[in-house]
Amino acid sequence: MTSAAWLALLSAELVSITPSYFQDYFRAAFEWNVARNQAIANELPRSITALNGRVIVPILLKGAAYIKERIYPKMGARILSDLDILSEENHLDAAVEVFVSLGYQSAGRPDFDYRHHHVEPLKHADREAYVELHREAIAQPLTRILPAKEIIRDYQIRKEGSLTYACRDNIVSA
């Protein structure tokens, strides 16, 4: 919310009438968010290339899709915490292997429920980068509304080159 508030203040030209301690806080939070989002964004090209090398077509969800499509005018406009990537169920093990080869490892969440809509989050060993490999785009019971099989089928039908943006699903594949 802080990043969006800062951008709203800037666009409405209200920064000058905002108390300096709020300006400092909002600016610092926004700049921190830009740096974190950029670090996450930097993982995207190598992730896509490595997955494609294993003949896995990643379907980018949520923030990853926004990064790829440059939906927001500023890198810090949306708060990101990880890359969310949908893959066909039969490719998930290979996708995990790809990320392990890139330096990722289990994020070590002992309470993780393996029936979840994505595999256990992976964290890069040297960088503040996380990946969630999804078997479903959304959690149960909502998967009845938008099952991964439909997203993947729709992608295959609408495929144009190597990039597709699907507005109704808020996803992009690369």
pLDDT digits 0-9 by tens, 140-169: 887 888 888 888 777 654 443 333 334 445
Q: What confidence tier does 170 reach under pLDDT thresholds 50, 70, 90?
A: low
Q: What confidence tier does 114 reach under pLDDT thresholds 50, 70, 90?
A: low
Q: Give yes or no for residue 95 having a pLDDT over 90.
A: yes
Edge to edge, the sheet with strand 130-134 lists 104-106, 122-124, 130-134, 83-86, 59-61, 171-173, 164-166
Of the listed ranges 9-13, 43-47, 107-111, 130-134, the one predicted with least confidence: 107-111
Q: Domain ranges in the chain?
A: 2-173
The CATH code that applies to domain 2-173 is 3.30.460
* Tens digit of each residue's pLDDT (9 = 90 or more) over 22-66: 999 999 999 999 999 999 889 988 998 899 888 888 888 888 888
Tell me which of 110 and 167 has the higher pLDDT: 110
